Amino acid sequence: MMVLRAWKALVTLLDTREAATCLALFRIAMALTVFTTLFEMWMRDVHLMTWVDMGLSGYRPIRPRAGLIHWMGGATPDVVGRVIVGTMFFALASAAGIGGRVTNFITLQLLIALVTLNTHAGGSYDELMTNALWLLVLAPSTKTLSVDCYLQTGQWTSDAKVPAWVRYLAVFQILTCYWTTGLQKLSVYWTPGGDFSALYYIFQQPSWQRFDMEWVAYVYPLSQFATAMTWFWEVLIPLWVLAYYFRYTADSPGRVRAWFNRVDVRSWFVVIGLVFHLSVTAFMNVGPFSFASMAYFACFFTPDEVHSAWARVRARVVPA
């Protein structure tokens, strides 16, 4: 009976449909992240050093034996340049909501062709972006806030429903990324057994700095607090998962469930996460990691919650 109840609950969960608003916001944020990342590389000619073969201006041998770049003629400046321009074009089309799943799929394949050229240059943000595009292929993310929606309905927004499980997968993806990252921070510089000095030392490394960070020495306790908050926030991600479960089963009894929903633990985790990513972006050069991560934040709340929040904002900005 327990297995049967669990199976029915899983079927009900996966069969849930909801408004497409969150998925559309996820699509727009991630597509713009892909575009701005490649645009910056293209404008600074960094793509030539990173993805072009060493004999043609790159810094290491790059000779793809299979895939799109190989079929187009190899990692030459012309080929890589065309692929980058094509990826940016389709990323903008995805952000605008043109072409639905097909556009997202093309953007995905072009981006994979680029980021797999040189495994020495890249990071977890590559997987965050490509995984997100895969999720956008699995669901109709242009049902609202898109050109496709306007062409079909004459309106920029729609009440069309989409499967909710794709949003669940996006949440699972980013929470897994955070949690496993926290579990790997085992040195005494990160954990309670040490002095929480990790961020101080990171801020002193030229490879991460946006500008001179010697001033951090004068606010060293603040950097210790930030280190501790970052570590605890990541390793306590299971509490965030529990908060989602309690929110999903809000009608069930239980004091702990009632407290989680009354305090809204989810929102506190989101606020800390936003402060973390915005601070990292302001002080450190970590590529598109923060923006790719924050794009997933569009999936943390249900479309009904997003619509309610937007209605409250409009009520305050625009008098009745």
Domain boundaries, the chain: 18-162, 164-286
CA distance readout (Å), 126 to 96, 107, 122, 173, 219: 22, 13, 7, 13, 33
As beta bridge partners, residue 188 has none
Neighbours of 186 (CB within 10 A): 10
Handedness of CA 120, 123, 124, 125 (dihedral sign): negative
- Cα dihedral 244, 250, 252, 254 sign: positive
Q: Which two tokens stand for residue 119?
A: 């495994």
SS3 177: helix
Whole-angstrom Cα distance, residue 218 to residue 214?
Answer: 8
pTM over 0.85: yes
Task: Residue 24: name the closest of 174, 152, 157, 131 by CA.
Answer: 157
Cβ atoms 137, 104 nearer than 8 A: yes
pLDDT at 319: 66
Q: Which residues of the chain have pLDDT under 50?
A: none
Write the CA distances from 193 to 96, 230, 235, integer angstroms. 49, 15, 15
Q: How far is CA 146 from the centre of its chain?
A: 20
Helices 289-296 and 265-283: crossing angle in degrees, nearest 10, is 160
Residue 80: CB atoms within 10 A of its CB come to: 27
Contact 24, 142 (CB under 8 A): yes
What's the CA gap between 244 and 167, in Å, rounded? 13
Helix, strand, coil percentages (3-state) for the chain, rounded to 5, are 70, 0, 30
DSSP code for 171: H
Q: Measured between alpha carbons, how far is 4 from 319 in angstroms, rounded to an integer? A: 52
Distances (CA, A) of 167 to 80, 85, 191: 33, 29, 32
**Res 216: pLDDT:** 95
Q: Which phi and psi (to 5°) does residue 209 adopt?
A: -70, 145
- Torsion over CA of 130, 276, 219 and 211, rounded to 10 degrees? 40
Q: What pLDDT does 63 receive?
A: 85
pLDDT on residue 314: 85
